[in-house]
Every structure is written in C-alpha cells, then in structure tokens.
Amino acid sequence: MKYISTRGDQTERHFCEILLEGLAPDGGLYLPTHYPKVDAATLTRWRGLSYAQLAFEILSLYIDDIPAADLKALVEKTYTRATYGTEAIVPVRRLDDGLFIEALSNGPTLAFKDMAMQLLGNLFEYELARRGEELNILGATSGDTGSAAEYAMRGKRGVRVFMLSPQGRMSPFQQAQMFSLQDPNIHNITIDGVFDDCQDIVKAVSNDLAFKRQHRIGTVNSINWARLLAQVVYYFAGYFQVTSGAPEAGAAGLSPKGSAPPWGGPAAAPSNTEQVSFAVPSGNFGNVCAGHVARMMGLPIAQLVVATNENDVLDEFFRTGRYRVRSSAETHETSSPSMDISKASNFERFVFDLLGRDGARVADLFGAALARDGGFQLSAEETARIAGFGFVSGKSTHADRLATIRSTWQDHQDMIDTHTADGLKVAREHRQPGVPMIVLETALPAKFAASIEEALGRAPPRPAALEGIEALPKRFTTLPVDAARVKAYIEQHCAA
Ligand SMILES: *Cc1c(COP(=O)(O)O)cnc(C)c1O
C-alpha cells in the first residue's frame, strides 16, 4: 500500500515514511491510494479473531514495509488484557433493544485516544531503532491528548516527550495523571499562561526549521495516519460483537463492479446483510474518519452519526455542506472539553473522498478558500453526495448531556461521561428500525467528575489503579510564555 496527499501531490510513499511525519509537503493529509476491500469470506474469518489478531489483519492491508512477524509482535504487545482490562479490549454492552455502547476508554488514561496512541508508541520505538534515530515530541495539551501521548511514549527508547500545558488550568486528576510520571524521557512543562500560549510556543518552535531539524522535533497530533488506522480496528470489533454472523455480503454486495472509481468510491448501503450504525462524539474528526475508512473497506455500516457539542462546525457541515471555521472567541468551553474545537483537522480526508479525490479542488478549499473566507460552501450536488457515504449528524447542549447522564443512570444503572452522553443523545435521534446502533464510549466518567456530580449528585467510581494519584509526587517544570526558554529547556534535555 502507498500513500498520497489530499492536496494533489501524487508522490507515493510507504507507511513508515509517513509514520513520523505530520502534514504532506504540499500541506495536505496522507491517505492510502485506495481502500482495500474486505469480502464476505474475510469478514466471516475475522469474526473469530482476538482483538490483536484482528488488528494485525487490518494493519497488514495498509503496511507493507514492516515484516509480518514484527508487525504481529508490535500489535500483540499493544492490545493486551493488562493494558485494557478485558480480553475483548473494546467490550460492547447492551443499553436497550438495538442500542449498544462500545467501551474504547479502558486504557491507561481512560479515554479512547489510548487505543491508537499505545500502538503509535510501539511503532515509533520500532521504526526509530531501525533507523538509528531519535525523536523529540513537542506538544501542547489541555488534558486528554497530552496524557495519552505520555502514557504511550513513557520508557520508549529513542523518544522524548516535551509536553506544554497551561499552569493550573487542568483538573487536579489530569495534572496528577501526567505529572506523576517519573520516566526520565517524559518532560512536563507548565506554561505560565493559557492553552493558546502553549500552542503558540509549539508553533514558534516548529517554525524554526533549523532548530526543528537539529533537535529532531516531531509531533503526535491527530492527523497522523497511523493513529487513524489503529482506530479502524474497533469498528470491525464492535460490528462482530453485535451481529450474529449470518450470511454477510461484505464488500461484494456494496458497489457494483466496474462502476467504482479506482480508489473505491462511496459504498452504497449494502443490502441483504447485517448492518450496524455507529454514533461518534466528534471533535477533530479522527475517530469518525476511521469509521469512514472501515465503511469504505466494506464493513456494512448503515450510518455514521457525527455528534458534536455546542462547537458544531461538523454538525453544520453535515446538514448544509457549509464548512465554517470558528474563531477562538466563538469556540465554547463546554462540559465535553475534548470536543471543543474550532476546526476539524482530519476532516479534509473525508472531503477528498467526497469530491472524488480531486486534489486540486481540495487544495483550493482548504488552502485558498479557508485563508480568504474562513471556510467554504459545497454545491448542492456535492452536498447531496454526503448521504451516500452514510453520514448524518446532530449536537447536544450541556443540559442535554446532563439529562442523558441522569436518564442512563436511572433507567440502566449505567454511568457514562459527558462525551459519551453527547453521542448517545444524538444516536437516539437517528435510530433506524432493525439496525443496531453502537455508541462509542470515548472516556470514562471518572475523568469528568465535576459534571457527573452535577448530573447525579454523586462522584463517579475511579479504577482502583488510579485511587489517590493526586497525592503522588509531581514532576514538572514551570516556564514563562517564551519560546526561547522552551527551546533552551529542550536543548538542555536532549543531549543528542
Ligand atoms: C479526542 C476526544 C474526542 C474527539 O475525538 P476526535 O477524533 O477528535 O473527533 C471525543 N471524546 C473524547 C473523550 C476525546 O478524548
């Protein structure tokens, strides 16, 4: 499998060439040249596999520059009961008739980002050792991404993490999670400012190309293809848990042969097959974009329900074909903070497929149009194509999320977090008769205790391993809002 850019650069690259990179040189995102199709017989064979085996099968279709035995070992080391708490890794539980929750949040930081980031840590360590190189990961976080990255990279050879966070702005639990790590390759730097200051420093350091090259600065942001690919696996795993395995048409029943463009084309709603739908609490569009890839491969997905909070960039797009990036003043701080985004960084990948992989058009929309108009409006004909890709959307308010947490607790004795509540609220608006709906649980309630207490008047339970972490010794350095000071710190701590 080779990879190309969404903005027209057709240079074909292998998986490991793009693994450690961010954007493609033309500013686009990487996508495979085509989506491998999974037929009925393959789906039937995969049904009985363990999560690690399934991950190996799917990843193998996209990675041809890591020997199979090595890839297998990496995947088996990643998806273990010890890390995720269960044999199923992503257990699905039934809430109601035809309504399910798939738990993606049982990894070390209690949020779904662990699903991909843990694999990324092992892939980075493997590839850096093979090249004899080192990497210094620089990032800014207000919570989830930073801790997932640190727990994935801790103790990994060849990798250091420098993670900036706004001094005193994270919850005590989040601070404890990150700052209690004692691994010498993890550097927590609290910045005497707000999250935007942290991001500006990361940008300033990354824009210093000489410094970046000399100190091998990299990132682990959500546009990384390997992260997205790792997430494709749990759509298959969820499907197998709620369907019975009756005759599956798979890809063979999707688009008529001969009419599909070479890269795959939109998958028509499969007939004569067990279908499921997924509802996905969305921010940067990474999670649900993996669902799009699974559907393009032939997984019988009826609907991909994009759920947003008050930051409804994506809901607006899927209803109207209009993409309008929000300013930071228009970006709300909500009770589902991991979805508080002003633009959706992975979204360009879907638009590339929607527009028949027209790289020039995508370059214009996400380059010139975004810079000039802060967004774009697709034509009516283009907007009408969205339905063919299975996407629908909706949004929730703070009151909706609290009400959903409350009713789920009262009716099912099931405690869900604010992000999952967003997904469940919107999922209910899109139920179709006879089609199971799987809501992706993206975090455990323990991470967002204040909202749970507001909804239920009681504290969420905390996994035993995290009991009392606030009392552990903390390891961090505080620096002013000054990129030069951060550079000096990195220089001191990465004697290369
Ligand atoms: C990151 C995150 C999301 C949003 O996922 P995207 O891939 O950015 O759409 C939703 N919920 C939680 C808990 C998250 O950490």
Over the stretch 377-398, which tens digit does the pLDDT of each residue have? 999 999 999 999 999 999 999 9
Cβ of residue 338 lying under 6 Å from some atom of ligand 1 = yes
Report which protein residue has its CA nearest ligand 1's atom 15. Answer: 338
Q: Helices 225-242 and 51-60 sit at what angle, rounded to 10 degrees?
A: 130
Structure-block tokens of residue 468: 């009392």
In a domain? residue 309: yes
**Beta bridge partner(s), residue 492:** none
- Rounded to 5 degrees, φ, ψ at 47 are -55, -35
**Cα–Cα distance list, 456 to 82, 408, 419, 422 (Å):** 31, 11, 16, 16
pTM: 0.94
| pLDDT tens digits, one per residue of 315-329 | 999 999 999 999 888
Please state, in angstroms and rounded to a whole number, the distance separating the CA atoms of residues 81 and 215: 36
β-pair type (99-103, 135-140): unpaired
Question: Domain for residue 403, yes or no?
Answer: yes
Q: Is residue 222 part of a domain?
A: no
Asked if residue 399 is part of any domain, the answer here is yes
Q: What type of residue sits at position 204?
A: A
Q: Write the CA distances from 269 to 99, 189, 294, 298, 368, integer angstroms.
A: 20, 49, 13, 10, 34
pLDDT exceeds cutoff 50 at 255? no
Residue nearest to atom 2 of ligand 1 (CA): 338
CA atoms of 245 and 252, how far apart (whole Å): 16
Domain of residue 377, CATH code: 3.40.50.1100
2 catalytic residue (yes or no): no
Residue 420 is assigned to a structural domain of this protein: yes
Rounded to whole angstroms, how far apart are CA atoms 488 and 241?
51
| Structural Rg of the chain based on CA atoms | 22
Instruction: Give me 405's structure tokens.
Output: 């947490």
Q: For residue 296, is it within any domain?
A: yes
End-to-end CA distance of the chain: 34
Mutation to probe ligand 1, out of 101, 113, 425 (largest number of atoms < 8 A from CB) = 113
Any ligand 1 atom below 6 A from CB of 292: no
Tally of domains in the chain:
1
Please indicate, yes or no, if residue 106 is contained in any of the structural domains: no
Q: Determine the average pLDDT of the residues in 213-240.
A: 94
- Average model confidence (pLDDT) for the chain? 92
Residue 475 lies in a domain: no
Query: Residues 420-454: pLDDT tens digits?
Result: 999 999 999 999 999 999 999 999 999 999 999 99
Q: Is 306 in the pocket of ligand 1 (CB under 6 A)?
A: no
> CB of 374 within 8 A of CB of 368?
no
Domain limits at 276?
227-247+261-456
Select which of 2, 37, 77, 113 is catalytic.
113
**Ligand 1 pocket check for 287: Cβ under 6 Å:** yes
Provide the residue count of the chain. 496
